[in-house]
Amino acid sequence: MWARIWGFLDWCFFGPASQRPGLGGAVLRVLRYAYAVVRDLLRGEINLRAMGLVYTTLLSLIPLLAFSFAILKLFGGHQRLVPVVHEFFSPLGATAAAELTARVLNFANHVSSGVVGSVGLALLAWTLIGTIKKVEDSFNFLWHVDQARSFARRLAEYSTLLIAGPVLLVGFLGLTHAALDSAPVQEMVRLPLLQRLRGTGIALAPYAMVTAFFTAMYMMVPNTRVQWRAALTGAVVAGVAWAATGKMFTAFVVYSTRLTIVYAGFAFVVAALLWTYFGWLILLAGALLSFYVQNPTYLRLGLQQLRLSAEEQEQLALRIMYYLGRAHVAGGRRWSVARLATELDLPGIAVAQMAGALEHARLLLVTDNDELVPGRDPGSIRAIEILEIARRQRSGHVLPRLVPLPPVDRLLSGIADARRSLCGELTLRDLIDEVPRPALLVTHRQSSSR
């Protein structure tokens, strides 16, 4: 039943109705993004990663705050972390937020004053780097990135983030408070309109900070180039979802007495775990939306593994080489993987994998600007070469030893000989120039005479 439902929804959002011009088709094309995110959330992989990050957060929260305390004490701004931590726990209610903030900061202060000053500083930094690595793995999973950062790059970038992040955050808060408390601003806000705007700005400031934080994470954490527009789109939606979920969660905690009855004094701890889970889920959903905004060709595929048939791989290889050869002969704009994926309406990973196979066979080259060009003159690239490379891509599985079967082997050998005979000496340049082949002409005349 569920398969039929998902099939019907796919038909609605990606079928002929979504391609129609006008308002109806435009609305369906916009709703594709929400549908794709909800569909991937319901399939479970993102939920599992959010649960794993909750466990990681519990292990790294105290070391992170302790490390931040140790850094900010050098600048005398460690007390400015209090409103930041309190804002994170605010959906749990005023009492629980105040209690959790006091406990966490008390633990972090003791750790930073006792352990961080010695060899423990390196240990805490190592723990935090490992934690950020898990966050990066989750983002790379959503962005279909197979290769993570190298160890040296990870160590350098994560250490810089851990040191510069708290300093920039506290510096931003300090400048904001200084600007709001300055005499000219105080004189201006006495006006009724500006006073109302000031109150609105203060109320929206936490959401703006969450959006800015999400945008920075979406751009910096994945090991790929993320466009700022895609990151900002996902961050705005995630920020709104964060605010709405926070208000609903606060109402749930305030009006629900079952948590207190069942868990007694640990009720606020359970609520903190639930809120942390929802927070990571929202963060990952926003990252997924950013990915879809930048790569709309993945909307229909989602997080599923792409599996092309042998026929589809042959078609893809020929089309890729045709576009590259035509641009080379005509002198047009060179193609990239992203442009080819958009042109062919295929996920980028399919084009990237096939381009990698063709590059390995030296039928195409990748320039320093990540542009694709033919590996040699199109007149020397035979069509049968392209087809054989597409068919012989390694699947990653080890096949068992094939038992010789003469009838089957003769059939397969005959099919291969027929393919080579049909292609003959046809080259990529012939396809570009649309030169008719004698074999096809003979076949066409025979079929027409019949």
Instruction: List pLDDT tens digits, range 178-213.
Output: 555 555 655 555 656 555 666 666 666 667 778 888
Lowest mean pLDDT among 161-165, 354-358, 393-397: 393-397
- The predicted pLDDT at position 170 comes to 61
Higher-confidence position of 412 and 364: 364
Domains located in the chain, CATH noted: 2-39 (no CATH), 43-298 (no CATH), 311-394+405-449 (1.10.10.10)
Q: What is the pLDDT of residues 20-51, one digit of tens each?
A: 787 888 888 888 899 899 999 888 889 889 88
At residue 251 the predicted structure's pLDDT band, cuts being 50, 70 and 90, is confident
Instruction: Name which of 140, 290, 105, 138 is nearest 211 in CA terms.
Output: 290
The percentage of residues in the chain with a pLDDT greater than 90, rounded to a whole number, is 7
Please tell me the pTM assigned to this model.
Answer: 0.70
Position 450 pLDDT exceeds 60: no
pLDDT at site 439: 44
Q: What is the pLDDT of residue 285?
A: 93
Give the pLDDT score at 197: 63
pLDDT band, very low/low/confident/very high, at 261 (cuts 50, 70, 90): low
If one compares 126 and 213, the residue with the highest pLDDT of the two is 213
Lowest mean pLDDT, pick from 8-12, 115-119, 423-427 = 115-119
Instruction: Quote the mean pLDDT of the chain.
Output: 76
C-alpha to C-alpha distances, 95 to 58, 145, 254, 262, 423, nearest whole angstrom: 21, 42, 10, 19, 77
pLDDT digits (tens, 9 = 90+) for 388-434: 888 877 655 555 566 778 888 888 888 888 888 888 888 888 888 87
User: Residues of the chain with pLDDT > 70: what percent?
Assistant: 66
Among 94, 61, 106, 62, which residue's Cα sits nearest to residue 279? Answer: 61
> Given a cut of 90, is residue 271 above it in pLDDT?
no
Considering only 71-85, 120-134, 290-304, 358-372, which range has the smallest mean pLDDT? 71-85
SS (H, E, C) the chain: CHHHHHHHHHHHHHCHHHHCCCHHHHHHHHHHHHHHHHHHHHCCHHHHHHHHHHHHHHHHHHHHHHHHHHHHHCCCCHHHHHHHHHHHHHHHCHHHHHHHHHHHHHHHHHHHHHCCCCCHHHHHHHHHHHHHHHHHHHHHHHCCCCCCCCHHHHHHHHHHHHHHHHHHHHHHHHHHHHHHHCHHHHHHCCCHHHHHHHHHHHHHHHHHHHHHHHHHHHHHCCCCCCCHHHHHHHHHHHHHHHHHHHHHHHHHHHHCCHHHHHHHHHHHHHHHHHHHHHHHHHHHHHHHHHHHHHCHHHCCCCCCCCCCCHHHHHHHHHHHHHHHHHHHHHCCCCECHHHHHHHHCCCHHHHHHHHHHHHHCCCEEECCCCCEEECCCHHHCEHHHHHHHHHCCCCCCCCCCCCCCHHHHHHHHHHHHHHHHHHCCCEHHHHHHCCCCHHHHHHHHHHHHC
What are the pLDDT digits (tens) for 53-82?
888 777 777 667 666 666 666 665 556 666
